[in-house]
Amino acid sequence: MSSNNTDLINQLLSLPVDFTMDPLVIPTTTNVVRPKKSRVTLEDKDQKTKERILRNRAAAQESRDKKRRYVSDLESTNKRLEEENGQMKKKMKHLEEENMSLACQLESISKQFAALQAQIKFNTNSTFLFNDFCGSARIVKKEIICV
């Protein structure tokens, strides 16, 4: 190595080293300018607090009123549905009674119809037998007359 390079290295090594700084971190300025905040007076804070309390109170009242309206609507709907349910029960009872009555009438009419069918069958058979009997009686009568 040349003596010139050696002198340069020695000069660099003789410089003071600050061990409080991390060599990997880029140093920034420590004096950061912050924006000025407008100072809020105590009266302004009190006024804002009062306004917030009033807004909150109004919102709470509106919420209570809304709940009252909702509950009132539910109660009126419930009352209407209970009345409608009562009417439907009455109508259903009436229709069940009417259905029972019609079922009894149907059974009675079916029995009458069966009795009439039996009577018609008997009358048809009786007429057939009567006609056969009459026919047989004529034949016998002719034979008696002819003899």
Three-class DSSP labels, 124-146: HHHHHHHHHHHHHHHHHHHHHHH
Residue at 24 is within a domain: no
Residue 8 has a pLDDT of: 75
52-73 mean pLDDT? 98
pLDDT digits (tens, 9 = 90+) for 72-89: 999 999 999 999 999 999
Q: What is the pTM of this model?
A: 0.45
Burial status of residue 147 (CB atoms within 10 A of its CB: 0-12, 13-18, 19 or more): exposed
Domain assignment of residue 99, given as a range: 42-146
Residue at 29 is within a domain: no
pLDDT grade, residue 23 (50/70/90)?
low
Residue at 134 is within a domain: yes
Residue at 5 is within a domain: no
pLDDT grade, residue 35 (50/70/90)?
low
Residue 104 has a pLDDT of: 97
Alpha-carbon gap, residue 135 to 147, rounded angstroms: 18
Residue at 137 is within a domain: yes
pLDDT grade, residue 129 (50/70/90)?
low
Residue at 91 is within a domain: yes
Residue at 6 is within a domain: no
Residue at 23 is within a domain: no
Question: Total structural domains in the chain?
Answer: 1
pLDDT digits (tens, 9 = 90+) for 43-53: 888 999 999 99
